[in-house]
Structure 1
Amino acid sequence: MVSNRRAVNAYQNTQVSSAVDYADGIQLIQMLFDGLIDALSCAEGEIERKNIPEKTKSINRATGIIFGLQDSLDFERGTDLARNLSELYEYMGRRMAFANAHNDINAIREVRGLANEIRGAWKLLPSLLKQGPVAKAS
C-alpha cells in the first residue's frame, strides 16, 4: 500500500489527472504511463518548435513521473523484476537529463519507446490476472 501511495503522490505532483483517487494499483500505473507518454510527446514537440521553457517543463514532468514509478516499486515482493525496472527507470532518467541538456529528440524518442513497451505489458496484466495461475505440465 505504501508503494501505491508513493505512486499517487507522484501522479498528483505532476498534475496529470484528478482520477487518481479512484484508480486501483494497476490503473494507476497505466495512468502514470499515459501521462509519461503525453509529457514525452509534448517535450518532443517543444524541441521541434524551439520552445525551450516549455520543453523543460515537459521534460521535468516526464522525469518526475519516471522517478515516481521508480519510487513505487515493491522490492520485497518483486525482487528481480523491481530491481530490473529500477535500473531501467534510472537509465530513462539519465536519458531525459541528456535530452534536456542537448535538446535531443532521439533521447526522448528512445525513452518513449521504452515507456510504450512497459505500458503495453501493464495493459495486458489485468487479462493475465483474470486467467489465474498457469498449471504446470506433468
Structure 2
Amino acid sequence: MAINNPYNQYKESSIKTATPQELTLMLYNGALKFMNQGKLYIEQKDIPKTNEALMRSQDIIQELNITLDMNYDISKNLRALYVYIIEKLVDSNIYKSTESLNEAIEMVTELRDTWKEAMKLAKMGK
C-alpha cells in the first residue's frame, strides 16, 4: 500500500504532467540512481540488494530502448548503446563487478547530460 504523503503526491503529479522530454530525463536519472545504489551494494557485498538495484536499472534502460522511434537514424545508434549498457549491467550483476558498472554509469551520465543540454537548446529555440 502506497503511503499518501505530500512527497509521493508531488512525485506522482510531476510524472503525470511531465513532457515526453522530461520523462526521458527522469528515466535517465532513475537508471543512474539504481546503478549507484547497485555499486554501493556490490561494495557492501549485499547480493540481494545489488540484484534488485541493477535489475531496476536494466528495466529502465530497456524501457528507453523499446520506446525508440526507429524512423530516425540516431535511434539505431541509441539502440546499440542501450544494448551495450544492458550487457554491462548484466555483467555487473553476474560478476558483482564495479568495473562494468562504472562503464555503464559513465555512459548513462553522458547520455543524460546530452539530453539535458538538448532540452535547453530546444527551449531556447522556441
Query: Does structure 1 residue 104 correspond to structure 2 residue 97?
Result: yes
Report what 2:16 is aligned to: 21
Query: Does structure 1 residue 55 correspond to structure 2 residue 86?
Result: no
Query: Does structure 1 residue 87 correspond to structure 2 residue 80?
Result: yes
Q: CA deviation at 1:127?
A: 2.1
Report what 2:117 is aligned to: 124
Question: RMSD of the alignment, in Å?
Answer: 1.4
Cα distance in 1 for partners of 2:98, 2:80 equals 22
Please list every run of 5 or more consecutive structure 2 residues that lacks an aligned counterpart in the other structure.
1-10
TM-score, with structure 1 as normaliser: 0.79
Letter in 1 for 2:18: A
Q: Work out which of the residue numbers 38, 41, 46 in structure 1 matches 2:41.
A: 46
Cα distance in 1 for partners of 2:54, 2:119 equals 30
Q: Work out which of the residue numbers 61, 70, 79 in structure 1 matches 2:65.
A: 70
Cα distance in 1 for partners of 2:96, 2:119 equals 37
